[in-house]
């Protein structure tokens, strides 16, 4: 674990402010969700990364070879969603 030399006090609600330099270097924004871990007397904050859950109704193919992949085998970055070409919409006529 890298030591920063920064100390902060908790406010009356138990909050701390992360210095702007730290937020910028870790690309943390004000609405980012954070995961909180405890190891002994150490509190660890980690930026939460939401995993994509594959939609079982969609078809996925391998990004490299193009073969179909069952949704149960999909991992981030290995598959792309197959999207059907959009059908042109008929123009709506306005009644005057």
Contacts of 78 (CB under 8 A, 6+ apart): 62, 63, 69
Whether the CB-CB separation of 47 and 34 falls below 8 Å is answered with yes
pLDDT tens string 69-90: 666 655 555 555 555 444 455 5
Q: Which domains does the chain have, with CATH numbers?
A: 1-50 (2.10.260.10), 51-89 (no CATH)
Whether the CB-CB separation of 82 and 61 falls below 8 Å is answered with yes
Place of tokens 């005057």: 96
Provide the pLDDT for residue 3.
80
Provide the pLDDT for residue 84.
46
Q: pTM for this one? A: 0.47
Provide the pLDDT for residue 70.
65
Provide the pLDDT for residue 96.
53
By DSSP bridging, strand 60-62 and strand 79-81 are antiparallel
Instruction: State yes or no: pLDDT of 2 exceeds 60.
Output: yes
Q: Please report the sign of the dihedral spanned by the C-alpha atoms of residue 69, residue 52, residue 86, residue 57.
A: positive
Tokens encoding 81: 């969603």
pLDDT tens string 18-50: 999 999 988 998 888 999 999 999 999 898 887
Confidence band (pLDDT; 50, 70, 90) for 17?
Answer: very high
Q: Which of the two residues, 7 and 67, has the higher pLDDT score?
A: 7
């Amino acid at each position: 674990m890298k030591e920063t030399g920064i100390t902060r006090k908790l406010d009356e609600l138990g909050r701390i402010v992360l210095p702007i330099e730290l937020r910028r270097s870790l690309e943390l924004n004000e609405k980012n969700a954070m995961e909180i871990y405890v190891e002994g007397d150490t509190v660890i904050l980690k930026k939460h990364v939401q995993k994509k859950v594959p939609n079982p109704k969609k078809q996925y193919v391998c990004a490299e070879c193009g073969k179909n992949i069952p949704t149960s085998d999909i991992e981030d970055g290995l598959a792309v969603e197959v999207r059907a070409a959009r059908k042109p919409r008929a123009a709506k006529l306005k009644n005057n």
